[in-house]
Copies of this chain bind each other. A is one copy, B any other.
Amino acid sequence: MTHTAELIAVGTELLLGNIVNSDAQMLSQGLSALGINVYYHTVVGDNPQRLRAAVETAKSRADIIITTGGLGPTCDDLTKNVLADCFGKKLIYNEEAARRIEEYFQRLDRPMTENNYQQAYLPEGCVPFQNDWGTAPGCGFEAEGVRVLMLPGPPSECTPMFHERAVPYLRDLTDGVIVSRSLRIFGMGESAVEALLRDKMNAMQNPTLAPYAKEGEVELRITAKAPDAQTALDLIAPVEKELREQFGPLVYGADVPSLEAVCFGLLKEKGLTLSSAESCTGGLIPKRITDMGGVSAVYKGGVVSYWSEVKHSALGVPQEMLDEYGAVSVPVAQAMAEGVRARMDTDLAVATTGVAGPGPDERGNPVGLVYVALSWDGGTFVRTVHAAGPRSRVRQLAANHAFDLVRRHLMGLPLELE
């Protein structure tokens, strides 16, 4: 039997546009993975009458209602009161929930006020959802043929509460499992990928295949539905194999967070070090690398040489080369990568020099032209990139190409695209 869920977010801050309803996105993804349909999202403010109207409408067309927000003392536990009332339930003091809230405050060494105890009142007969990520507990109950689940609003609480509490509570409603695997592709545009796959995608039923465009790359999601996880994975495997053959070195990983994470893993595995020299990406490459904890095992440092004189003084790019070819040129990209590799004594080094925009450079090089170099003990390779789009996209794409060169080198793949 297929189930239908309706999401109701409670919070005036959503209606004022102070925050975006990211809980709805997270819940929709999660419910879709469980094979549960979502036909409506609704957002209401901190208002009992309007929340009641939304709940009455949802009751008439869904058999699962999930609310987010409106659980804390600042809104007088609006959601709990209205939902309990809509389904004819009383709120009852839950000793266990009270104890958990006390513990939470003790752990944070913060004083607990009287209205925090109010959060321990829960609808009679419910399953309390212990909140290890905040103070307001959630809960689930069944009434009038509807499963009602209440989750806290802050995404940092709602996300773990959904996965750790709500999903187990809904498990008996889902027949079978839905398993996805994401192949990440760099080096081909979304429309080209889609054109190559359109017939295949249209012909597929289970698993399904869908492309998603990310910043300068494409994610191919293979999703299978089966009675158990192993059967789903067995359905996915041949499709993944076929796609890997079709796209070859463009596939940089499956279920991996990013190109830089793949580089980090490969560098660590091989015990190699990396440095960077940048012009147009201006710190974006080390920023993305050092976003990851523990990366000092492989990344030694870098130079942001935004001015030409810094390319000369800090990286040793010859002044005559800068004068003759200009800062945005193949020889300068090569000299930057080689310069930083020698000075920082690393196994590999990447470099970028190009025109991020908004306008062309003083030599007339167009916005989006970037030279991306990789230097290693056997040589230096420079890739010419023509990136389309605004400044932020040109920079992200240039950084992606730098990571792609590192990845391809470490995996023994050709450094040329195509």
Q: What residues of chain A have their CB less than 8 Å away from a CB belonging to chain B?
A: 14-22, 24-30, 32, 38-45, 47, 50, 54, 57, 212, 276, 280-291, 293-296, 299-307, 309-310, 313-314, 343-345, 356-358, 391-392, 395
Q: How many copies of the shown chain assemble into the complex?
A: 2
Q: Which residues of B contact A15 (CB under 8 A)?
A: 28, 38-41
Q: Is B26 touching A17 in the complex (CB atoms < 8 A)? A: yes
Most B Cβ at <10 Å: residue of A290, A291, A309: A290
Q: CB-nearest residue of chain B relative to A37? A: B15
Q: Which one, B30, B42, B54, B314, contacts A301 given CB within 8 A?
A: B314
Given contact pairs A17-B28, A17-B29, A32-B16, A344 touches B310 in the complex (Cβ within 8 A): yes
Q: Is B50 touching A45 in the complex (CB atoms < 8 A)? A: no
Q: Which residues of B contact A282 (CB under 8 A)?
A: 286-287, 289-290, 299
Given contact pairs A39-B15, A41-B41, A43-B40, A304 touches B291 in the complex (Cβ within 8 A): no
Closest Cβ of chain B: how far from A326's Cβ, in Å?
14
Q: Is A40 touching B39 in the complex (CB atoms < 8 A)? A: no
Q: Is B290 touching A301 in the complex (CB atoms < 8 A)? A: no
Q: Which residues of B contact A288 (CB under 8 A)?
A: 283
Closest Cβ of chain B: how far from A279's Cβ, in Å?
9
Q: A16-B32, A303-B304, A314-B344 are known contacts; what are 7 more A-B pairs with Cβ within 8 Å?
A: A15-B39, A20-B20, A290-B304, A291-B391, A293-B356, A301-B305, A301-B307
Q: Which residues of B contact A286 (CB under 8 A)?
A: 282-283, 304, 306
Q: CB-nearest residue of chain B relative to A23? A: B20
Q: CB-nearest residue of chain B relative to A273? A: B307
A405 to B26 CA separation, bound complex (whole angstroms): 39
Given contact pairs A39-B50, A304-B276, A20 touches B24 in the complex (Cβ within 8 A): yes
A385 to B15 CA separation, bound complex (whole angstroms): 36
Q: Which residues of B contact A296 (CB under 8 A)?
A: 306-307
A367 to B269 CA separation, bound complex (whole angstroms): 26
Q: Which residues of B contact A24 (CB under 8 A)?
A: 14, 17, 20-21, 43
